[in-house]
Structure 1
């Protein structure tokens, strides 16, 4: 019933083409630059989305019980075997945590800083991840926390001289390099002081600690340590880099559950761009994450693949062959054959709150496709008793909407901005206050 109503409304309203519209001059310029890529909405081919509430055998999902027992597990398995790849299950038995830095009066006494080395195999010479944590000192413990991976090393997110600098991967050369001191605070996409002032903690780790981001990555990081679990040869459903990074986020959650300063029941997992894809996949699999946020995640993240708008399955598989499992390559230029689409990834997070955000100038990531995926997940959220997405049409620029599903499209380019952060903290306030009465 929910899906029939959604499809009927989409047909009447032109699939959400009210509200925001892309700049025609930008569409023209991008189309001229890449005539092989769809940037004109009129060129989006007709498509039919798989119904998230109809099982593979045709059974219609009409109760929450059937969703949890049958449909959700089969959707999860589809994404595991056909797109992101299958990761090792659960916390490694040998994994250990080493708190190598603890300062309860950091940043002029306003913050408790912790740095934790997570040894995935328990061995000092094995793969490990440095987790940098800032917690506000002015709020009662335990503290709700935003968790996200970063692109360039923990030392780049803040100028704090105590943050350990360690080697990062040079993606072009496929080797590790030691950053210089002058790179501290060079990528300020995490406004630590503003997050702390709102009463939230923030934790981050360098994604290259988990696995490097280049085609030959399977010889390094967690792949080198754990691929032996799959046998002598990697099977076609073995984890790709996005699945590995998502697995690393769950290992950070394993640590949070041991730290009395952190409220492990109120952890928000967030990601930007390829790490937005990662956050969605982590949140879909690991129900311990209370809120899931995708920032400009595009193709392979929140955007509907069947629209073929901006970056496509074929383009992403060619440019980043290590991100997904080998099976996913079968769907290059064959999106209509996929037994899933990204609305079903968002639906896997239900009934937990999820937020999808786009940027006005980031047409490569298909902002409308991101909104439509959130909208198409709404029937599952409604079935599970939530308010879902409280709008039918794509909202205007800089006009966020926040139900159990949240969405905004803001001015500007592909980035994680302070505007985005303020909206995400508003969203966390809305849902955490509902449960606890205070942030």
Structure 2
């Protein structure tokens, strides 16, 4: 799902009101953590944030194959691609990577050393270029026996990832060239020589990755002069931050024959829109604070406004097409997200298809975390050899997504028959009123709740009904480490249908009573490590809850952590069910396990959810009265007012994009006809306590509508004589679950009394 980008959107919007932009800068400074280098950049450039009200909203990545002509979006053809490509380059330069000098045209190589390493000839070379040849760049070239053949060559910025081409070189098929424009994290003793170029070539706003990629192009200048190197087969690649600069090089240097992009993460293989805290990803805020100059500092203006960023990294990938490209990532790599990587692959594939080069694009998954394994190194060599021979990359690395979903195909085969036209249009209505708008008598309220629950069940689809499943505790292995008294104690269990859960018992000092409240932590869509956040704005939620005296059960939602294969086949097995219903069922089985835990007060069982987990928590509590209360953080926006024109991306996200609630898609064209909405869902939880934390600047939600839904649900609480049990907190933040919010949740849980109920 994408939106059009205008050819002129690379121009910085200018507002008539400088005061308005200064006020926006003041707001950012108030909200953002300190970043001295960003402040330094602001002082040097005098740049201000754009007037966001003048900028188009793009909750989906911009359409690569759509441009604006005469004020209208038009889909381009193959003949239009060169012009569109130049538009994308300008967008990438302006908003993401910055501009760079033209090629200096005078690169010369001074061979400092040449030696034999077995059969391999190894060179140490000093490149000199630029004004008076003042720019210096060392590189190291390894050449196998070539017998007058012109060899392809693989360029990389540090020795660690020369292994990508090692097998190819040992087969006599590739040369390898390492250059010294690398991040200091790799070669601390060798300073990135490209740092000296910042002032040597004039005033350019190039980011570090643009500068290092430009430096790699100077290596290509020199390699092209060697009679044993094939200038048409110069490849580049890298891993993590090395991959980012490889992408930057290839996007602006058409001589690069192909790219290995291994786990580049945020600012590489992920759209910024899909790696904010909604996904526990390395957000714009975090990336530009920890590494202020990796990308253009201008990107930091879009913290919490990712949906207004005029460019995104699918444009960088598009600029590499139609050349061979291998996207390589790990299933449990915390710098990436398999859901987001697949969105990047599918965006990029459109360009390769337009250019008749789908065979040149591959996506390879590997098991484990961030670091490449031996099989990955070998497969990267295989990619290089295949690409150098002009053979199919897609055939060698076929696309097998973990998150497959085609709403139209599902709707054609499995959608229930619904007369949408005959259904009433509604807004954010009073859940205590009947269809005619008259108040429901208190005596009839239980019937109204039953009606809401029936509508929720219909929306969730036709799947297995909840049945209690006895949890199974796992024994602690002999010799296991003793947990310090100051740390939460973890006990592993099996819940539901063989789902791994972890129960965290509070440290001794946090135990206020013999029986403690319990909480099920329901995590967002964080695919790499499930409920354990990869990047976060606060403490690990399950640990903060436990330290606060709450016995906490956590498990990976379907599609995350160790349950990604389960997501891959879910709709093949359960075409009439829904992922959200599965998440609700798992949450109810987690309640089974929590009730069986030692020292849990059965009358104080809470659900704590963030993002996707927040929505799961509300659905679950509406259906399961064992839940004492719910804390929902950035978890919902009302369906009926979430139109396609909304800055969120509209209601169809849940049906068409994520595939969480397919039946909701039946109302995507007319969301006001949705059969149930969050005002009713929250009302069905009454009189049990609910805490809604709705950050004011969360673009994943329509904030005013969230507030309106809570106020309408409050009428149900008033009807139940529990008006004070529904709490709305609206911090001036973007989508995140930070320490202040976590403390608010912990204090709220601990303030809730038990009811004296016993465990069923």
* Contiguous gaps of at least 5 residues in structure 2: 4-57, 392-760
Whole-angstrom distance in 1 between the partners of 2:109 and 2:330: 37
For 1:204-215, list aligned pairs within 5 A. 204-208=178-182
Query: What displacement does 1:211 show?
Result: 13
Cα deviations by residue, 1:291-350 (Å, 9 ceiling, x for unpaired): 011111000011121112311111101111111223222222211111222222111111
1:429 is the counterpart of 2:437: no
Query: What displacement does 1:201 show?
Result: 1.1
Q: Which residue in 2 is equivalent to 1:43? A: none
Between 1:93-102 and 1:126-135, the stretch displaced more is 93-102
Q: Which residue in 1 is equivalent to 2:327? A: 356
Whole-angstrom distance in 1 between the partners of 2:356 and 2:221: 29
Q: Which residue in 1 is equivalent to 2:82? A: 68
Query: What displacement does 1:138 show?
Result: 5.0
Q: Which residue in 2 is equivalent to 1:240? A: 207
Whole-angstrom distance in 2 between the partners of 1:97 and 1:257: 11
Contact 1:189 1:417 in 2 (8 A): no
Out of 321, 337, 360, which is 1:404 matched to?
360
Q: What secondary structure is seen at the aligned counterpart in 1 of 2:335?
A: helix
Q: Which residue in 1 is equivalent to 2:300? A: 329
Cα distance change of structure 1 residues 419 and 78 upon mapping to structure 2, 3 Å threshold = same
Q: Which residue in 1 is equivalent to 2:341? A: 370
Cα distance change of structure 1 residues 240 and 210 upon mapping to structure 2, 3 Å threshold = farther
Cα distance change of structure 1 residues 213 and 54 upon mapping to structure 2, 3 Å threshold = farther
Q: How many residues align?
A: 328
For 1:184-333, list aligned pairs within 5 A. 187=160, 190=163, 193-198=166-171, 199-208=173-182, 220-226=195-201, 229-230=202-203, 238-307=205-274, 308=276, 309=279, 310-333=281-304
Contact 2:96 2:312 in 1 (8 A): no
Query: What displacement does 1:425 show?
Result: 2.3
Contact 1:3 1:53 in 2 (8 A): no
Cα deviations by residue, 1:213-243 (Å, 9 ceiling, x for unpaired): 99xx9994111322xx22xxx6xxx001111
Whole-angstrom distance in 1 between the partners of 2:313 and 2:293: 19
Cα deviations by residue, 1:393-429 (Å, 9 ceiling, x for unpaired): xxxxxxxxxx311111112322244322322222233
Q: Which residue in 1 is equivalent to 2:312? A: 341
Cα distance change of structure 1 residues 218 and 427 upon mapping to structure 2, 3 Å threshold = closer
Cα distance change of structure 1 residues 211 and 364 upon mapping to structure 2, 3 Å threshold = closer
Cα distance change of structure 1 residues 123 and 336 upon mapping to structure 2, 3 Å threshold = same
Whole-angstrom distance in 1 between the partners of 2:165 and 2:254: 26
Cα distance change of structure 1 residues 373 and 191 upon mapping to structure 2, 3 Å threshold = closer
TM-score after normalising by structure 2: 0.40
TM-score after normalising by structure 1: 0.68
Whole-angstrom distance in 1 between the partners of 2:366 and 2:345: 16
Q: Which residue in 2 is equivalent to 1:130? A: 138
Q: What secondary structure is seen at the aligned counterpart in 2 of 1:117?
A: strand
1:83 is the counterpart of 2:96: yes
Whole-angstrom distance in 1 between the partners of 2:161 and 2:355: 38
For 1:143-222, list aligned pairs within 5 A. 143-150=151-158, 157=159, 187=160, 190=163, 193-198=166-171, 199-208=173-182, 220-222=195-197
Between 1:283-292 and 1:405-414, the stretch displaced more is 405-414
Query: What displacement does 1:47 show?
Result: 4.2
Kindly name which structure, 1 or 2, has the bigger radius of gyration based on alpha carbons.
2
Whole-angstrom distance in 1 between the partners of 2:266 and 2:129: 30
Q: Which residue in 2 is equivalent to 1:111? A: 120
Cα deviations by residue, 1:104-154 (Å, 9 ceiling, x for unpaired): xx222x112222111233657x4411110111115652111111101xxxx
Whole-angstrom distance in 2 between the partners of 1:239 and 1:56: 27
Q: Which residue in 2 is equivalent to 1:415? A: 371
Q: Which residue in 1 is equivalent to 2:508? A: none
Contact 2:233 2:256 in 1 (8 A): yes
Contact 1:213 1:241 in 2 (8 A): no
Contact 2:67 2:76 in 1 (8 A): no
Whole-angstrom distance in 2 between the partners of 1:270 and 1:188: 8
Whole-angstrom distance in 1 between the partners of 2:288 and 2:62: 22
Whole-angstrom distance in 2 between the partners of 1:292 and 1:218: 23
Whole-angstrom distance in 2 between the partners of 1:296 and 1:422: 16
RMSD: 3.0
* Contiguous gaps of at least 5 residues in structure 1: 5-45, 151-156, 158-186, 389-402
Whole-angstrom distance in 1 between the partners of 2:253 and 2:161: 28
Cα distance change of structure 1 residues 130 and 418 upon mapping to structure 2, 3 Å threshold = farther
Cα distance change of structure 1 residues 303 and 144 upon mapping to structure 2, 3 Å threshold = same
Contact 2:164 2:381 in 1 (8 A): no
Q: What secondary structure is seen at the aligned counterpart in 1 of 2:389?
A: helix
Cα distance change of structure 1 residues 213 and 321 upon mapping to structure 2, 3 Å threshold = farther
